[in-house]
Amino acid sequence: MRPSNTLGLRHVALTVKPLEACVSFYKDVLGMRIEWQPDADNVYLTTGNDNLALHRASENFTKDKCQVLDHLGFIIKTPEEVDLWCEYLRKNKITIKAEPRTHRDGARSFYCEDPDGNLIQMIYHRPLV
């Protein structure tokens, strides 16, 4: 028999080459805060109910030798705020990969990239708010 349900997906760990640029993106642009930095090669960030670990990639690190992550999703409070986030990120010279759109289920989202090229979805999805 399966144990009780998990509390959700609240921890993601990424290996990144430009560690400092990624920390700046998630902290200064997206508003996360550093929860713990055990050393110069590892930083743990949070919004208060999640945990994003950033680990510095080694010199010989290549993404083709690792598991594939399609994208990360950040939950936005309202559909209107999705558009505001897109404008804000564009003004901060963040690459927008797909413009905001409303999905068939009523969700609204767009995609951008972090400094290491990881795809980020900024999404309003009513069941998650």
Cα(73)–Cα(71) distance, integer angstroms: 7
pLDDT digits (tens, 9 = 90+) for 110-127: 999 999 999 999 999 998
Handedness of CA 81, 86, 89, 94 (dihedral sign): positive
Cα(18)–Cα(90) distance, integer angstroms: 20
Given a contact cutoff of 8 angstroms between Cβ atoms, the answer to whether 81 and 124 are in contact is yes
**Spans of all domains in the chain:** 1-59, 70-129
Tokens 């090669």 found at: 41
Which amino acid is located at 26 in the chain? Y
Q: pTM value? A: 0.88
CATH class of 70-129: alpha beta
Which of 52, 55, 15 is closest to 32 using CA atoms?
52
Whether pLDDT at 129 is above 80: yes
Q: In terms of CATH architecture, what is 1-59? A: Roll (3.10)
The DSSP call for residue 81 is: H
Asked if the domains at 1-59 and 70-129 fall in one CATH topology, the answer is: yes
- Tokens at residue 123, please? 């999404």
pLDDT digits (tens, 9 = 90+) for 19-32: 999 999 999 999 99
Give the model's pLDDT for residue 60. 85
pLDDT digits (tens, 9 = 90+) for 60-86: 887 776 767 889 999 999 999 999 999
